[in-house]
Every structure is written in C-alpha cells, then in structure tokens.
Structure 1
Amino acid sequence: MPQYILGISAYYHDSAAALIRDGQLISAAQEERFSRKKHDPGFPKASIEYCLKQADIKLGDVAHIVFYDKPLLKFERLLETYLAYAPRGFRSFMMAIPIWIKEKLFLKKTLRRSLSELSGIPEAELPGLLFTEHHQSHAASAFFPSPYESAAVMCLDGVGEWATTSVWIGNGNTLTPQWEIDFPHSLGLLYSAFTYYTGFRVNSGEYKLMGLAPYGEPKYVDVILENLLDLKDDGTFRLNMRYFNYATGLTMTNKRFADLFGAPAREPEAELTQREMDIARSIQVVTEEVVLRLARTVHKETGQKHLCLAGGVALNCVANGRLLREGPFESIWIQPASGDAGGAIGAALSAHHEYQEKPRHRPLQARQMDAMQGAYLGPEYSAEEIKSYLDSVGAKYQELGNDEIFTQVANHLDDEKVIGWFAGRMEFGPRALGGRSIIGDARSQKMQSIMNLKIKYRESFRPFAPIIKHDKVSEWFEHKGASPYMLIVAPVREDKRKLMTEEETKLFGIDKLNIPRSEIPAVTHVDYSARLQTVHPQTNPRFYKLLDTFESKTGCPLLVNTSFNVRGEPIVNTPEDAYRCFMRTEMDFLVLENFLIDKTSQPNWQEKTDWKQEFDLD
C-alpha cells in the first residue's frame, strides 16, 4: 500500500497544502487560488480537498499530517520580544495576545477540529499530527526536491519561530543545521521595512521594490550600512532596532527612520518619485551584498559544491542571478514556492525523510531537473468541463486540433495580440509558468505598456519576463543552463541590445521606461536585464510546442509571460476564473486547452460588482 503524507501551511499568510506519496510530491496548491483572496492565511480546506481528490484518497488514508512550524516556539518569541522592549509596544501586545490565547496558542486543537469537520472523522481518530520547525520546513523544501545528493542549504526570510537566516547541510535524506541568525535581526524584515516605507504592501510588494530598483541610483547605501545594518565581512549582521517598529509596533518603520531618509513613508498609490527609486536601488544593492557574503561564508565552511535556497528572500531573483554568476558555488537550486506556501511541501518531505528516515528516490530527478515537476502541481480541467462552462455562459469558441491551435495562436501573437493561456495543471508558487499565463510578442515595443495598463491595470514601471525554449536561452541571454521557475535575472546578450543615444543615456528614473533596449524590448528591463524562465519538453511539452511554432514563424523562440490575473487578484485557477478575467480586461484571445475564444465574438459581459472593489490592490 502506498503511504501518503499531507503537509499544511496556514494561519499566517499564503496557506497551502501538499501531498506526497511514498516520498514523491504529487500535488500542491495555495488556498488563495480557490478562495480568490490573495495571500489567504486561513485553514487551507479547498487545497486539502484538491490534493486528496487528485490522489483519489480520503483523509483517513493519510499516514501523517504535518504542520510547517511550531506555534508554541513562535509564542515564546512573541512574549520574550514584548518583555525585552516593554513598555514600548503595549498597544500591539494587547492586540496580539487575545488572538494567540483564543486561536494560535491552541493551534493543534484548532487544526484537529478543522480537519475533523473537513473529513467527518472524529478528532480522536484522525491521522497523526506532526509539527516541523519553520526553517526546517524551508530547508526541506529546498534540499529534498533538488537534484543534488548533497548541498549547502540557506534559508532567508522574515522570521519563523526565532530564526530569520539559517544554514544547513543536506546529505541524502538528512538535513543538519549549522547556525542561524535570530529575530529581530532579519534581512527579510529589513527589505520589507523598505517595501513599507516606499508605499508598497508588506509580504506582497517586495517584488515591486526589486522591479523599481533599476530606475534609481544607489545613493543611500552608505546611509543604510552606517545607520541601519551592522554588516560583517562574513555576511552576518545586526539591525539597529532604534529605527524599526516591527518588533513591537503596528508599522515596520518609525519616525527616526523617516527622519534618516528625510521624509515620511510614501502613501500607497501616491506618485513615485526619483527618491523612491534611489531608495529601492540602495536596499537592493545592500541585499545582494549580504546574500553574496553569506554564500561565500557558507561555501567556505561547508565545502559543498551546490547551494539550495528557500525563504521569502530567495524570491529576489536579481540577487539569485548575481549569486549564480559571481558566487562560489558550481550551481544553485531555488525552491519555486520559497515563501510560506512552500513550507507545506517541506513539512511533508521532512516527515518522510527525517522523521521516518526514508531514503530519497533518484529516478525522477535523473529524468528531470528536480522533483518539483516544473511546479505544475495544481488542478487541471478536461475538455468536457471547459466546454460545459463555456456553453453555460453563452461563450463563442472554436475547438481546434493540436497543430491548428498552435498555428493560430502563433499567428495572433505575431499580430501583437495579447492572449490568455490556460493549459494543463496550475502552477504552485507565486509565478505563472505557462499553465495560467498571459502571453504576448516580446519583440513588440508597445507590449509592456499594453499589458501593464490595459490588461493587468498595474504600475507602468513593472517589468515582464521572457519565457524561452531551454535550448535557445544562451543565444539571447548571458546565461547557461535551466531557469524553469523564473527565479534568475540575467543580462540580455550584447548582440541583441540596442545602443542608446547620448541623450537617452542622460535620462533618469521612469523616463527610461519607453526607450527600447533590445530586439525584445517587452522583456528587457532598463538595466538590460530579464527575469528568465526556460521551458522544457519534459515538464511542459505543450508550451514548448507553442514556442517552437512561434519560432518557426518569426525566428524568435521566446514570448512575454505574465501571470493570468488582474492587479490584486490571485492567479486564475478554473476555466470560469480565466473567462471572467479575460472579459474584464483588454485581452484579445483566450486559450482554454484546445478551445480558442475571440474577444470580438463574445456576448456582452455584465459585471455584478467592479473587480477593483472585489480585490484589494496589492
């Protein structure tokens, strides 16, 4: 009989569930994709139900249920922090403690009750419930699915129970902790403090700060290093907590922080100025320097050739790109769901390999780059399900054969049409990887602004990523090897770039935006970089075939790829989500598997509510 282990992350942000069978990951999904509430922190009921349905089992068939951190240790940190900073933070303390006493302190009981309600199994008869530590979950999610037999592992995030940075050695089916940096000294929280200060939302706007950085100059690096961060040569650090409010307050930064940078925090949605761009560039430079120094130290101490990364900071793909090119490791592997959602995977794998001492299986990893299956771990929908929904709303569509759908889509892309692409299993993690994507022609000079302003309804400065055939990546970018999860930024090759005029080089900030930088301007950022995603026939043969068809027609083996959603909305999950998003925006065509839908042929779309009220802007 196969053995199943269910991993759960919940109650903080990005709730998720993951299911493994005999140590092999078979499904994973975030609750936000079902609830349509971005970063949904609630009990992941729908995600668990999906994982069980996909495996055709019931909860009673699961051997263990594993939660991704230890609430009692987290409560200990909360109490010790408030005591250390007393009497400051009393208001925050009085808001937090009732929630902990009512819910989180008795999380084991809460989990059992929710699992019992979901399954109909009495609490006393539920499968065994285990708890991993937060950074143990991150480390397990980074190492066990990786292609390495042994590697160093580095986890960097906001905070788990106590750890904010941790280093491990992975070997076979074991993870051995080496050392950690503890709260309140946190690279993730430092970056989030600047996210907050520049007017973006903490825990979701960090990637905006990273995207804004190339428009600025690193004017504040010395200010940060002299006042906020005591950075040692080995990469370890301490924060000067006199400037931060997150340990005890309701905000990330305080008045002393604002005085240091000469102004209060930017209000959300206020105009972005050169100052915010310079601040973004400065904290990005500092973050990259910390990551590089830490990596050099870890390499020196462990002697490992390979490095695995997880934790929210591992989603900083600019830092990852520098680490790959300039760092001491032969190769790096990054968990695509590096944030808390990925903790569900790590918790399940940790129970299998560490708690049960079961060996890792290598055949899958030998055939593929890793054991994540391209991160295509979510639901997929049959032609019958798609047709049934389209007929129910009176949609007009063509159902085409494989060759014909690829040919028609390639033609429409060549005509600068924007297409919603919905195919196969939904991706796990924050990035759309060709399962639930909006795609366009990267050669188009107008594609970035069309997608930002007419499709995504988001800030004009936000860059888009190229999705490229894996065997053509080095012809277009200064990069060799795979980057299947859109987690590496690399420069566009010089022979594909367009030289700027002397006048254009003098431009500052957002004025740089509309200057075409290369033969693929829609995916070339202002610093000639691009966030790469390579497509592999082993994990996504359908999208590889589309790129192949487009290349045969145009000579270009890549497209623009962005997530299939509007601003503030989770990535679409169902055909209904996709059609609704399609009709709300100025997309030209929608592809649902082999169904091609032309916007101009659709019946009038009546919204019950304005989607801008439905979703909180991120």
Structure 2
Amino acid sequence: MARIVILGISAFYHDSAAALIVNGTIVAAAQEERFTRKKHDAGFPIHAIRYVLREAGVDFDDLTTIAFYDKPLLKFERLLETYHAFAPRGLVSFITALPVWMKEKLFMKNVLRKQLKALGDARVPMLFPEHHLSHAASAFYPSPFEEAAILTIDGVGEWATTTLCYGKSNTIKILKELHFPHSVGLLYAAFTYYLGFKINSGEYKVMGLVPYGDMASPQTNEFRQKILSTLVDVREDGSILLNMDFFDFATQLTMTRDEKWESLFDLPRRESESEIRQVHMNLALALQQVTEQIVLMLARTAQQLTGSRNLVMAGGVALNCVANSKIREAGIFDAVWIQPAAGDAGGALGAALAAHHIGHHQPRTPTPGDAMQNAYLGPEYTDKEILNAAQKFNAPFRRFEKFSDLTAQVSEKIAAGKIVGWFQGRMEFGPRALGNRSILGDPRNPSLQKMLNLKIKSREEFRPFAPSVLLEDLQDYFKTTEPSPYMLFVAALRCELRQPEPEHYQTMSLHDRLYHVRSDVPAVTHIDYSARIQTVTRESNPEFFQLLRDFKAISGCGMLINTSFNVRGEPIVCTPQEAYAGFMRTGMDYLVMGNFLFDRREQPALPSGLEQHFPLD
C-alpha cells in the first residue's frame, strides 16, 4: 500500500501550527510561536512546517495531501451575513476587513500555494475540513475509544461555535451545532476583556481569579443572575442565545458595549494592569459558574444524543480544567478524554487526521491510552546542540554520565529550595509544559509561589502553579483516582493535608489570602484547596519520572511544582539557546539540559543585546 503522508496547517487567526501524520500515525506537531518567539503567532507556520517535515524524514514533494483547518469561503459568508444583519453598525470595520478578504483570505488555496512554493511543488492536493470538524477529529481520532460523544466548544469557526458529534470507528457524524454569534467561548472572552485581560490569552487569568471570588456573597449571586437574565439565555440542552445589544464582537474590534455593561454590573471595565478588587473576583466566579452550567448541560445533551459512555472534547473552552472536572465528577460519562492541544493549534492535527480517515477513507484502530505520544511531538536536541549553546555563551557546566546521578543531585537542590529549569527530549505540543520544557520547584515551600510568579515568571502574583505527581501516589494527595496526564483536570487536596483557615478568611485581601499557608504543599494548592494536576508514569516520561522518584526518596514528597519554561508574554522555550538565555534572564538557580547541569553562580553575564523583553500578555 502506498504511504499516505498528510500535512495539517492552522493559520491566520491565532496559535498557528503544523502537524504531520504518516499512515495515520502522528509523527510531529508544533506551534509556530515556538520558532518565531511571538506568542500566539497567527502567521503562516513555515517554521513549524519545516520542522514537522524534517522530523518525519519526508520531503515536501512526498506529501499526499495538505489539510487546512477551516473553510475560508464559509467564514467569508458569515462575515457578509453578519455585517448585513447588524448594518449600519460596523460599517467602518467591514470596509477595513473587506480588502484583506478580497486580496488574501477569500482565495486561501492560492495564498497557501504561494507560501508553500518555498518548500517544493505546491500542487499537492488540498482539503479544507470545517473548523469544528478539525476540532472534533483532533479529539476523537487520537482518543483511546472505539466510539465516543464529541463536544467541541470555542469562540467561532466558520459559523459553528459549538458542535455535538458522534465518532465511531473512522467516522464522525455532526448531530447538532450552535452558530455565531451565540458562543460560550466569546462570552468568556468578553468577560476576559471586561476584566482587563487580553482575549485569547487572558482566559487563564480569569480562571485563576475564580477561586478568590466569594461564593457566599450576595454580589456573586447577583452577578450570576444578571448574566443569566440579561446577557445570555441558557436553554435546557445547553444551547445559548447572547443578547447582542450588549456585545460588539460581531461588527466591531471590541468585545463589549462598555456603557451597557457598566450600567448592568455597576462596575467600569477594569484597566489592564490596574488593581484587582474583590468585585472583579466575584464577577469572574459568576462567569465560571454560568460557564460550568452551560458545559454540563451540553455534555448531558451529547450523552443523550449519542448514548455513548465516552466523551472527547476540543476547542478553546475545553482548556477550562475546572469545567472539565465538573463533567467528570457528574458521572455523565464513564470516561472523558480531552485533546491536549485543544485550541486552534490542535486544529492543524485535526485537519490532518480528518483528511486521513474521512478524506482518504482510512480505517482506525484506537491506541491504548491515546495516540498523542504524551504530547511530546516537538523538536528534540542532541548533546552536540546543547554543547554548542554552552560554548556560544561560554557557559560552565557539569556533564553526568549516568542520568540517575544527575536526578539525585537535582532532587537535593530542589529539596533545598532551589528552582530548576528542566529541558529534556521533545518539546510539548499544546499550551502546557509537561516535564520537557518546565521550571520545577518544591511544592512544600510556602514562599515558592510568590518567588516563581514575581522573580522568575514576572507575572501576576495570584496565578496558581500546577503539581506534577507520580500516578502511583496520586491518592495520597488528592481526592481522585483518575489520571490527568495533560493538566486538563483539577482535583481537591485531601482534607488531612489542609491547614485551617483563619477567621474572616473571605474578607481578607487577595494578598493575605494568597500567602496564607493552606496545606502541606502550599505552593501548588490553590485558594480553594484544588490543584490542576499532571500525573506522571515511567511509561509517559522516564526522565521526569526518575526525577520525581528521586525527589520523593529525599523529601518523602512524590510531586513537584511544574510550570512552563518561559516568562510572561514569551512562548515556551524550544531550543537549548533559548533555554539558557531564559535561565540567565530570570532568578532560576540551576538549569538542566539533557545530562548537563548549569549552576547560575558559575555563569558569566549574558552578552549585551540578549536581554529580551516580551510584550505583556
């Protein structure tokens, strides 16, 4: 049988990416931002394409098919019909957008061929699955299930903002769709904007604020009721209708009609980087409560429509780990699996998989666990390349012959309160660092959350950190038995590990609540005693597993703080050179790359010109 080699591409909105599959096997996938160092890069992913071709050992001319993650003509139809429906509102933005569409986006096949000419014969056949089909394919085809309900929720694709599908064998059947402008993702984005954060990146910050909201406060309940009575009509099946008198995203370049929101909530839109007050936390909590209500209703409808006991999810809203956990806890399904690159980057992978199984009618055999190779689908660097980076910076290091000797020493340093940059193997695909491009620390250290946020990551102090925990020790710390290899679920800390709350805890300032020692592992315990967990096994990541095991042997604690190896506004590091420069620009104590250990105290100053400042996200 001839080899089927498919390149998947997502581009021109945010989080551009490329993925390559060979005979249905995922070989490589990466976001363009990791190569250009521009966070959420929306440009054509030429660097990512070059990487995935190189990783697969194929030439561009070997490609069977190229799959792009949405249908530009349908998106243009939505643009025209939306502006017509809302006219004369948005006339200026329509006039601004139209030339770009007429010159470029409307003729996407020509745009792609022009960009791809640099790689080879650009006459490779192209397929354009719909945006939400790409999401659905990214969720179902790599999952471990023979059949499953599929739920995709995001801002918007062409017309669809939510789809309920059923996947079986190599087929996906779309059962129901919710159409623009009625969108759970855009509702969340509107509040992200109103709370003073950037859309398509600040949603994580809103989620981080949620536990600081006061669930017992009349204000929180009032906010929730106003959202449900004025902004969004939620139906029993989880479908929604947004009150577009309050939103501007359909025709303008802003999300909300601020004067109406200010009147509704008696609260002006928060300015970026300004003080975060309790009222903002309560509004974030009310939004999360409404989002969870909608997502749970959609999950129940998906189960009723399909009769399946399995659920798979993708789309940006599937990165809301608290909502995901509510589905799991509700017992609607026996098993839930979520695509780790659930956002638009994962659309590149989904487009390729849809082309393989639907476009080329290829059969599918589910992979035990899943087919994502633990999301380690990006570039890997050799010892020689690490040495080259060290030589470039005249960086002293110690090289270990035995990896176990390295992990034993690093474990001792972490247990002594040191912060370690950890660079191993293939880079992760998706927004989470899963132990290959990570910054690590001791979760028992009560000062580490503040130190990591302010000294290392240069980000808002309230943002929580996730623990990576040995799967075999999971139940010793958390009230769950469910694995979470991709940091897409939260779990509650066991009661015996919690510290009592002081009196009037809810009325204390954010700062005072934040730095109250809440548990035996305070650096990874959020204010509501939850944590977004990653479970680690020997099979999933032998090197990281070894480090966790050695740290447990020294400290008695089978978990580590694991945060992504970057600073605020910067994409996760990709290369040894970026890792070393990032190590030196921050307050990390040690850097590990492969079997090489770098001690900050021994390093020379970075050459001038390499001090880099990233725009705030």
Report TM bin, short chain: over 0.9
Which piece of structure 1 moves more, 469-478 or 577-586? 469-478
User: In structure 1, what is the equivalent of residue 6 of structure 2?
Assistant: 5
Counterpart-to-counterpart distance in 2, 1:2 and 1:471: 40
Map residues 414-429 of structure 1 onto 2, 5 A cutoff: 414-429=415-430
Q: What is the rounded CA distance, in whole Å, between the counterparts of 2:506 and 2:263 in structure 1?
A: 32
- Please give the residue correspondences for 1:387-466 in structure 2 after superposition, counting only pairs within 5 Å: 387-400=387-400, 401-466=402-467
Of the three residues 295, 303, 307, the one matched with 2:307 is: 303
| Alignment-derived partner of residue 360 in structure 1 | 364
Distance 2:396 2:170 in 1: 52
Where do 5+ consecutive residues of structure 2 fail to align? 215-219
Q: How does 1:261-300 map to 2 (within 5 A)?
A: 261-300=265-304
The one-letter code sitting in structure 1 at the alignment partner of 2:62 is D
* Alpha-carbon distance in structure 2 between the residues aligned to 1:543 and 1:337: 21
Offset, 1:152 = 0.1
CA contact (8 A) 2:393 2:606 kept: no
Shift of 1:301: 2.1
List aligned pairs for 1:592-603, cutoff 5 A: 592-603=593-604
1:142 aligns to what? 139
1:527 alignment counterpart: 528
- Aligned twin of 1:226: 229
- Taking the aligned partners of 1:312 and 1:16, their CA distance within structure 2 comes to 15
- Residue 14 of structure 1 corresponds to which residue in structure 2? 15
SS in 1 for 2:28: strand
- 1:185 and 2:182 equivalent? yes
Superposed structure 1 runs of 4+ greater than 2 Å apart: 501-511, 609-612
User: Is the deviation greater in 322-331 or in 279-288?
Assistant: 322-331
Determine the C-alpha separation between the residues in 1 that align with 2:485 and 2:62: 33
| Structure 1 stretches lacking a partner, 5+ long | none
Aligned residues: 608
Contact 1:215/1:508 (8 A) holds in 2 = no
Supply the distance in 2 between the matched residues of 1:199 and 1:13 (Cα, whole angstroms): 20
Among the aligned pairs, what percent are the same residue?
A: 53
RMSD: 1.1
1:251-270 alpha-carbon deviations (Å, 9 max, x no partner): 10012122212233111111
Residue correspondence of structure 1 range 76-115 to structure 2 within 5 A: 76-115=77-116
Distance in structure 2 (CA, Å) of the matches to 1:289 and 1:327? 15
Secondary structure at the counterpart of residue 64 of structure 2: strand
Separation in structure 2 between the aligned mates of residue 259 and residue 278 of structure 1, nearest angstrom? 17
User: Among 326, 331, 338, which residue is 1:334 paired with?
Assistant: 338
CA contact (8 A) 1:295 1:327 kept: no
Counterpart amino acid of 1:104?
A: K
Deviates more, 1:455-464 or 1:251-260: 251-260
The amino acid across from 2:186 in the alignment is: L
Measured against aligned partners, the alpha-carbon deviations of 1:152-187 in whole angstroms (never above 9, x if no partner) come to 000000000000010000001000000100000000
Which amino acid in the other structure matches residue 138 of structure 2?
S
2:255 is paired with a residue whose SS is: coil
- The answer to whether the 8 Å contact 2:404/2:546 transfers is no
Take 2:551 and 2:20, find their aligned partners in 1: how far apart are those partners?
Answer: 36
Distance in 1 (CA, whole Å) between partners of 2:511 and 2:233 is: 32
- The answer as to whether partners of 1:153 and 1:169 remain within 8 angstroms in 2 is yes
Matches for 1:556-595 after TM superposition, within 5 Å: 556-595=557-596
Where does residue 371 of structure 2 map in the other structure?
Answer: 371
Q: Residue 175 of structure 1 is aligned with which of 164, 172, 175?
A: 172
1:611 deviation in Å?
Answer: 2.4
Match of 1:199 in 2: 196
Map 1:113-124 onto structure 2 (within 5 A). 113-117=114-118, 119-121=119-121, 123=122
Q: What TM-score do the two structures reach when normalised by structure 2?
A: 0.97
Measured in 2, the distance between the counterparts of 1:372 and 1:357 equals: 21
2:455 corresponds to 1:473: no
Measure how far apart 1:274 and its partner are.
1.1
- Whichever residue aligns with residue 342 of structure 1, its letter is G
Q: Distance in 1 between matches of 2:439 and 2:608?
A: 21
> Partners in 1 of 2:278 and 2:510 — Cα distance?
6
In 2: Cα distance, 1:341 partner to 1:465 partner: 22
1:135 to partner: Cα distance: 0.2
Structure 2 Cα separation of the partners of residues 275 and 609 of structure 1? 41
Letter of the 1:34 counterpart: F
TM-score by length of 1: 0.97
How far apart in 1 are the matches of 2:34 and 2:204? 20
The answer to whether structure 1 residue 131 and structure 2 residue 132 are counterparts is no
The answer on whether the counterparts of 1:33 and 1:572 sit within 8 Å (CA) in structure 2 is: yes
